[in-house]
Amino acid sequence: MTAKTAIGQVIENTYTTRQKPAVIIVGGGSAGAALAARLSEDASRHVLLLEAGPDFSTDNYPPALTSAASVAPATFDWQYTSDDKANLGHDIPTPRGKVVGGSSAVNGTVAIRARPSDFTRWSARGIEGWSWDDVLPVFKALENCPTGDTQWHGRSGPLPIRQRTMEELSPSTRAFIESAQAVGLATVEDFNAARTDGVGPYPLNVVDGVRVNTGMAYLTAAARSRPNLTILADAHVDRVILENKRATGVVLATGEVLSGAQVILCAGTFGSPAILMRSGIGPAEHLQSLDIPVVADLPVGVKLLDHPIYYNVYALKPTLSAMLPAAGALVWTRSKNAEADELDLQISATHFFDPANSPTGAAIVLASALVLPHSIGSLQLVSRDPEVAPRIRYNFLDAPSDLERMTEVVRLTRAIAASPPFANVVDSELFPGPGVTDEQLREHIHANVSTYAHPTSTVPMGADNDPAAVVDAWGEVRGIEGLRVVDASILPELPSVPTNLTTIMLAERIAAHLNA
């Protein structure tokens, strides 16, 4: 059966034997899977979930997706690359999951909440309903975490979160933590509790070595058995159908039309703005340059935020060659110029590295990141053809303070690496290598900066009087009825953490709002 025939069969089943869907959700990733599960809990609401990639039942995901020892398998990736040669001298691969579960199925499994100060910055924009007091109960309710203080943790939510212990880590990761402590960093027992400034093992959505994505956690066998939930895989959405500024359905890239009473875009920070712009919602001048009729002149794609990252890689001594578990430990601290209560620097210790590329057959990566950058990127269409990738420009290190802070965190990384006991487990530095002096670091960072793969804010939420906002506090697109966006693209500010847990929380909270 061809993909088009399969889509046609679902259309026939959905629109002939049932009523028109109350909600069409576009994208089955971190937000979309959670939203579909929650909205379909109302038996009177028919939910149609569309995913451009494949779909797997909860217990049938392939090892490339369930293994927590690897990230971003090419088979399940959109294969996007940024357009940054003009400002950085190189483009940057931008991995995004293309499967039910989305990027939660291909990421590094880090499960850390955004900090209270991150949400304070939301409130400073006049956005109501997203204070720390508003979101903490949602974070707790979505997780099942058997350890940690119940002041901070939930026990019975759909997403399993497990706090790594020192005993579980590889010898080199334990040495990294001990060396970070030796250079003066405090010990953090739980990055989802009150104290987060220091070094400690990661909390992860991993159980027995299995990456538990939102497709597994939310779209369980029980959820899939609901007669009011339909999941359609291999359904790439071109645009939203708009009639008199009201969303009435979507058009697939194959040309099929799916009608619905409401459309919610959960296609991610790159996918959702691209769909909006192909639908005529975006900056008027940009749309007109592609002969797209303008329905709503809104600043879609004007702002793209992400965490710049730089990789130090060390070959391990043959006697200390263990590389599991892959995701191990984190340093989270502040730069010398950080604002009050900001933690703007991270160092992630992982084994996400092909051991064949190490002369000893084993390596550890110390990835240095700036998690509160000032540089702003953008996203635009290259073509109105949905099969053509958008133009992604990170514009990393454009703000001078970003390069200064990136240099500061890389120097901290190298200081930790040079200290025992970590220095005693290292055979050699593979990258940047001993030929790069401390004085050359700035130039080397600029030439090799990459992405932490936490893009946000291309469809930002905001208060009614905020000219930079595309959606309101509950994801509703300005001036368009029946159309919402619910994913990381609507975050008004970049959280100072990996974004997966915050994105799931966002979907949970907006689902509760819609179910109220």
Identify the CA nearest to 99 among candidates 271, 233, 238: 233
Q: Which two tokens stand for residue 204?
A: 């992860």
Greatest alpha-carbon pair distance for the chain in Å reads 69
| Per-residue confidence (pLDDT) for residue 13, from 0 to 100 | 66
State the Cα–Cα distance between residues 248 and 226, nearest whole angstrom: 24
Q: Pick out the residues of the known binding site for FAD.
A: 99, 107-110, 237
Is 507 within 8 Å of 35 (Cβ atoms)?
yes
- Return all residues near 252 (Cβ < 8 A) that are at least 6 apart: 7, 50, 235, 236, 237, 238, 258
Q: Is the pLDDT at 2 greater than 80, yes or no? A: no
End-to-end CA distance of the chain: 41
| Per-residue confidence (pLDDT) for residue 9, from 0 to 100 | 67
| Per-residue confidence (pLDDT) for residue 397, from 0 to 100 | 98
The mean-pLDDT minimum among 112-121, 146-155, 209-218, 431-440 falls in 431-440
Residue 340 binned pLDDT confidence (cut-offs 50, 70, 90): confident
State the Cα–Cα distance between residues 182 and 308, nearest whole angstrom: 26
Please count the helices (runs of H) and the strands (runs of E) in the chain. 15, 25
| Per-residue confidence (pLDDT) for residue 10, from 0 to 100 | 67
Q: Which whole number is the average pLDDT over 251-259?
A: 97
Q: Is the pLDDT at 5 greater than 60, yes or no? A: no
Percent above pLDDT 70 for the chain:
96
Domains of the chain (ranges; CATH) run: 3-75+94-106+214-304+456-515 (3.50.50.60), 165-201+308-372+397-448 (3.30.410.40)
State the Cα–Cα distance between residues 488 and 78, nearest whole angstrom: 17
State the Cα–Cα distance between residues 479 and 499, nearest whole angstrom: 28
Q: Which whole number is the average pLDDT over 376-389?
A: 98
Beta-bridged to residue 110, according to DSSP, are 204
Is 488 within 8 Å of 481 (Cβ atoms)?
no
Q: Is the pLDDT at 1 greater than 50, yes or no? A: no
Instruction: Give the model confidence (pLDDT) of 289-300 as tens digits.
Output: 999 999 999 999
Q: Is the pLDDT at 42 greater than 70, yes or no? A: yes
Average pLDDT value for the chain: 96
Instruction: Give the model confidence (pLDDT) of 174-208 as tens digits.
Output: 999 999 999 999 999 999 999 999 999 999 999 99
Classify strands 210-211 and 206-207 as parallel, antiparallel or unpaired: antiparallel
Identify the CA nearest to 325 among candidates 96, 162, 159, 142: 162
- Return all residues near 497 (Cβ < 8 A) that are at least 6 apart: 110, 112, 113, 114, 115, 118, 371
Token pair 């994105």 in the structure block, residue: 503
State the Cα–Cα distance between residues 507 and 516, nearest whole angstrom: 14
286 is annotated as an active-site residue: no
Q: Reduced to 3 states, what is the DSSP secondary structure of residue 515?
A: helix
Is 30 within 8 Å of 487 (Cβ atoms)?
yes
Q: Which whole number is the average pLDDT over 42-46?
A: 95
The neighbour count for residue 228, using CB atoms within 10 Å, is 19
Instruction: Give the model confidence (pLDDT) of 225-236 as tens digits.
Output: 999 999 999 999
The mean-pLDDT minimum among 18-22, 160-164, 325-329 falls in 18-22
Is 211 within 8 Å of 68 (Cβ atoms)?
yes
Q: Which two tokens stand for residue 179?
A: 């060396």
Q: Which whole number is the average pLDDT over 44-60?
A: 96
| Per-residue confidence (pLDDT) for residue 16, from 0 to 100 | 56
- Return all residues near 407 (Cβ < 8 A) that are at least 6 apart: 441, 442, 445
Instruction: Give the model confidence (pLDDT) of 384-399 as tens digits.
Output: 999 999 999 999 999 9
Identify the CA nearest to 270 among candidates 148, 451, 440, 406: 451
Question: Mutual orientation of helices 171-182 and 400-417 as an angle, nearest 10°?
Answer: 110
The letter for the amino acid at 270 is F
- pTM confidence score: 0.96
Count Cβ atoms within 10 A of the Cβ of residue 12 and give its class: 0-12 exposed, 13-18 middle, 19 or more buried.
exposed
Can you spell out the DSSP letters for 203-254?
EESEETTEE--HHHHTS-HHHHT-TTEEEE-S--EEEEEESSSBEEEEEETT
Q: Pick out the residues of the known binding site for substrate.
A: 452
Q: Which whole number is the average pLDDT over 444-472?
A: 97
Q: Which whole number is the average pLDDT over 86-94?
A: 96
Percent above pLDDT 90 for the chain:
94
Instruction: Give the model confidence (pLDDT) of 262-305 as tens digits.
Output: 999 999 999 999 999 999 999 999 999 999 999 999 999 999 99
Q: Is the pLDDT at 471 greater than 70, yes or no? A: yes
CA within 13 Å, CB half, 224: 15
Q: Which of 236, 351, 446, 454 is catalytic?
A: 454
State the Cα–Cα distance between residues 354 and 495, nearest whole angstrom: 29
Residue 344 binned pLDDT confidence (cut-offs 50, 70, 90): very high
Count Cβ atoms within 10 A of the Cβ of residue 94 and give its class: 0-12 exposed, 13-18 middle, 19 or more buried.
buried
CA dihedral (395, 460, 405, 166) positive or negative: negative
Is 325 within 8 Å of 349 (Cβ atoms)?
no
| Per-residue confidence (pLDDT) for residue 25, from 0 to 100 | 98
